[in-house]
Chain A
């Protein structure tokens, strides 16, 4: 995983609540056995017309949002299916940051495994940054994970909370499994006790 660095990027606006992972990456694209190449299918059913051309009505197709790395969206983003293809598609498309008031649990976990910073903000903070993007499409925000803040040109920036463990992993680009395996002795010791307490699970 690439370390997450401070960056200055276009913020795209998706003013919808309850965006589910079936929309983020529809089921017809879940048959691949690789992790890559999902970006062109991101939001497929909203993004493309039936004839395969871009749907001009879809917000992310606006020229001003081209190249955006920050996605600003409504409440409960990423609900529904656990498919990690959703964050794979988001990352492959080019986003590395999402700003919303809330996320579904599994999706939220999946983001951090894929180098995506999912920022939780208050309703009021969200409304302000949404208004700023609406008034100035193509506006660039600065995301500084180290100092846990987002800076915007119109001064609607904010600081945000994040679990220190997740933050550390994003900043360093560290592999979770490697970290866990540092505790392999404790896992082995747990298993010894587990076998004594619950022998039927190991029969």
Chain B
């Protein structure tokens, strides 16, 4: 039988598949951060259970960590306790933790690939919905809840329902300045935030092949925004090249063995997907979200839609609510929307390539009066590499703040946040009400779009620069 990549990974990880219960699948890698793990460790301890395979775990601190004055104690006592609890739990269980002062520290989904901890064909979980990021390597990677974190620690398995398969084909090539982020937003706009529910997406087509590993990570990262369990990109030479020589990548004879296996993972020619969606790369304009859901997006050359333009009653109501929350009027040109704050960073767009392209746009500009601009690298390694390339100077000279790594304004748990009514251009992944601070208004964009907005004080069609 011809199989998709998802089916191959699924089949090779089935531990128990018996009638009357959910199939149990094996978990190769378990990623952790401080927010969704403490209650799992507590549960484990209370039941007298142990971590089954400590080597399968890599942990970091990212959600609550400050992005400046890292040498000072954390001011928020509850966040401080959470950070300390993480350190205690990792020490007691013998887990590899990159704590906030470790040179390897950063956002979990940026750090993990940097160290080659995820390989094609693996099953990877984390108590974090953006675990989907690692699908960029051809690994089945998905977010789980805290009870499941405990389950994986205790058993190295998870009861799972098999997903349906969706193929998203992006033909041709992207136009200049359209990026993986724009593909992700365009897909979510097309199928909606529930469009992928129950599916694992495999991204195919020449525009996907042309993406760098960083771009593929950005794309898969946002599979969850379209409701999908996971996103996958078949591994190819770019994947192997990226992995080779990294700390946890196979070495020596194992490399050849692993490579042969990885090459066998791609979907068989003619394998059937439950559904297929096709986009043309050249049609994807730089996207800007206008509402409070990642499906509420439009090309930068468009306008804020009117509620009446939606035939569906639910969508019409959602548009009305979003415009009220966002303080926007229907038919306003996107390029006429001003911004107060610009954020480049997060597990979606906090990698070196993101800062390179943003720096290219920011070079020689000045942040517009009244605008605050934050550049928050996804990890210390990204930060160092950017500094080695002189990118930090470009941002600083343009009036940006150059920070230490962390999730920062993506979910605003660490004190970096919008105040009520403030409007951001953000390279993060969610524009939900209050996500970046209560009453804050988020517009999701790519790094290049964010950098252009910082200089102009409003959104700009970067294709015209």
The listed residue (B28, B63, B148) touching A201 by CB distance below 8 A is: B28
Cα of A18 to Cα of B433 in the assembled complex, Å:
12
The listed residue (A105, A163, A180, A194) touching B198 by CB distance below 8 A is: A105
Chain A residue nearest in CB terms to B199: A105
The listed residue (A45, A82, A194) touching B144 by CB distance below 8 A is: A82
- How many A residues touch B, CB cutoff 8 Å? 57
Cα of A56 to Cα of B260 in the assembled complex, Å:
63
Chain B 111-130 per-residue mask, 1 if CB under 8 angstroms from chain A, else 0: 00000000100100001110
Chain A residue nearest in CB terms to B151: A177
Task: Tell me, yes or no, whether B146 is within 8 Å of chain A by CB.
Answer: yes
Task: Tell me, yes or no, whether B324 is within 8 Å of chain A by CB.
Answer: no
User: Are A187 and B155 in touch, CB under 8 angstroms?
Assistant: yes
User: Are A18 and B293 in touch, CB under 8 angstroms?
Assistant: yes
Q: How far is the CB of A25 from chain B (nearest CB, A)?
A: 11
User: Are B250 and A200 in touch, CB under 8 angstroms?
Assistant: yes
The listed residue (B24, B42, B413) touching A28 by CB distance below 8 A is: B413
What residues of B have a CB within 8 angstroms of the CB of A202 in the complex?
A: 55
User: Are B129 and A80 in touch, CB under 8 angstroms?
Assistant: yes
User: Are A194 and B26 in touch, CB under 8 angstroms?
Assistant: yes
User: Are A84 and B38 in touch, CB under 8 angstroms?
Assistant: no
User: Are B434 and A45 in touch, CB under 8 angstroms?
Assistant: yes
User: Are A104 and B197 in touch, CB under 8 angstroms?
Assistant: yes
What residues of B have a CB within 8 angstroms of the CB of A199 in the complex?
A: 254, 257
Task: Tell me, yes or no, whether B39 is within 8 Å of chain A by CB.
Answer: yes
Chain A 119-148 per-residue mask, 1 if CB under 8 angstroms from chain B, else 0: 000000000000000000000000000000
Chain A residue nearest in CB terms to B436: A27
What residues of A have a CB within 8 angstroms of the CB of B257 in the complex?
A: 199-200
User: Are A84 and B145 in touch, CB under 8 angstroms?
Assistant: yes
Chain A residue nearest in CB terms to B40: A84
User: Are B82 and A33 in touch, CB under 8 angstroms?
Assistant: yes
User: Are B194 and A102 in touch, CB under 8 angstroms?
Assistant: yes
User: Are B293 and A83 in touch, CB under 8 angstroms?
Assistant: no
Question: Which interface residue of B147, B194, B255, B261 has the most chain A CB atoms within 10 A?
Answer: B147
Cα of A126 to Cα of B454 in the assembled complex, Å:
45
Chain B residue nearest in CB terms to A114: B147
User: Are B194 and A27 in touch, CB under 8 angstroms?
Assistant: no
Chain B residue nearest in CB terms to A203: B254
Cα of A82 to Cα of B127 in the assembled complex, Å:
7
User: Are B15 and A190 in touch, CB under 8 angstroms?
Assistant: yes
User: Are A165 and B146 in touch, CB under 8 angstroms?
Assistant: no
| Interface range on chain B (Cβ under 8 Å from partner) | 35 or more
Task: Tell me, yes or no, whether A23 is within 8 Å of chain B by CB.
Answer: yes
The listed residue (B55, B146, B250, B255) touching A84 by CB distance below 8 A is: B146
Q: How far is the CB of A116 from chain B (nearest CB, A)?
A: 12
Chain A binder among B73-81, B300-308, B394-402: B73-81
User: Are B16 and A186 in touch, CB under 8 angstroms?
Assistant: yes
Q: How far is the CB of A125 from chain B (nearest CB, A)?
A: 16
What residues of A have a CB within 8 angstroms of the CB of B38 in the complex?
A: 33-34
Chain A residue nearest in CB terms to B258: A200
Task: Tell me, yes or no, whether B368 is within 8 Å of chain A by CB.
Answer: no
User: Are A31 and B64 in touch, CB under 8 angstroms?
Assistant: yes
Q: How far is the CB of A94 from chain B (nearest CB, A)?
A: 20
Chain B residue nearest in CB terms to A103: B197
Q: How far is the CB of B148 from chain A (nearest CB, A)?
A: 7
Chain B 154-170 per-residue mask, 1 if CB under 8 angstroms from chain A, else 0: 11110101000000000
Chain A residue nearest in CB terms to B35: A30
User: Are A187 and B22 in touch, CB under 8 angstroms?
Assistant: no
Task: Tell me, yes or no, whether A92 is within 8 Å of chain B by CB.
Answer: no
Question: Which interface residue of B119, B151, B251 has the most chain A CB atoms within 10 A?
Answer: B151
Question: Which interface residue of B28, B55, B250, B314 has the most chain A CB atoms within 10 A?
Answer: B314
B23-49 CB contacts (< 8 Å) to partner A: 24, 26, 28, 35-36, 38-39, 42, 47, 49
Chain A residue nearest in CB terms to B18: A183
What residues of A have a CB within 8 angstroms of the CB of B328 in the complex?
A: none
Task: Tell me, yes or no, whether B85 is within 8 Å of chain A by CB.
Answer: yes
User: Are A75 and B79 in touch, CB under 8 angstroms?
Assistant: no
With A17-B314, A17-B318, A82-B36 known as contacts, the answer to whether A203 contacts B250 (CB < 8 A) is yes
A residues engaging B (CB < 8 A)? Answer: 17-18, 20, 22-23, 26-28, 30-35, 45, 74-76, 79-84, 87, 102-106, 109-110, 113-114, 163-166, 175-177, 179-181, 183-184, 186-187, 190-191, 194, 198-203
In the assembled complex, 20 residue pairs joining A and B whose CB atoms fall closer than 8 Å, in A order, are A20-B293, A31-B64, A31-B81, A34-B38, A34-B42, A35-B42, A74-B314, A79-B227, A83-B35, A109-B148, A110-B148, A114-B147, A177-B155, A181-B154, A186-B16, A187-B24, A190-B15, A194-B26, A198-B258, A200-B255
List 10 tightest A-B contacts by C-beta distance, closest first: A200-B250, A200-B254, A113-B147, A110-B145, A33-B38, A84-B145, A76-B194, A82-B143, A84-B146, A82-B129
Sample of 12 further A-B pairs with CB below 8 A, known A17-B314, A82-B144, A203-B254? A28-B413, A31-B82, A32-B82, A81-B411, A82-B143, A87-B145, A164-B20, A177-B154, A180-B157, A181-B154, A190-B15, A201-B122
